[in-house]
Amino acid sequence: MDIRKLDARKRVALVAHDNKKAELVEWAIYNKTVLGKHRLYATGTTGTLLEGALDQSISKFLSGPLGGDLQVGSKIAEGKIDVLIFFWDPMEAQPHDPDVKALLRVAVTYNIPVACNRATADFLLTSPLMHEGYEAILPDYTLYLKRKI
């Protein structure tokens, strides 16, 4: 059984579709003190908005449709992102829907906490586990990797 050790200071990726950016910024301002205890990452435009609103340095990837979602997914696979907070818009078709699906898939694959709306983000951010070390159990994909194609 593989374990991924998460430190008390989490590496949190923040992502939001266009129609959800204002909501994410509002949520982040409300949670500024707690977010300030963690290392923040974000896709391009969202990161720029958050950096100004929080007055905190944020590591920014490309804009989501230009590959930022895939960059976040890559960092999750590398064990360099611990938590994903992704305010996605279920009512609007996105030109990069395959990238969004891939990002959510890799987050589940590597068993990291994911919040896709404000209520879940609130629960996640206020969990005692968010503020202490945690050992995430990684699924065993040995049989999948050994399958005959």
Catalytic site positions: 69
Q: Are strands 2-6 and 134-138 parallel, antiparallel or unpaired?
A: antiparallel
- Residue among 16, 27, 24, 26 at smallest CA distance from 89: 16
Three-state secondary-structure class, residue 139? coil
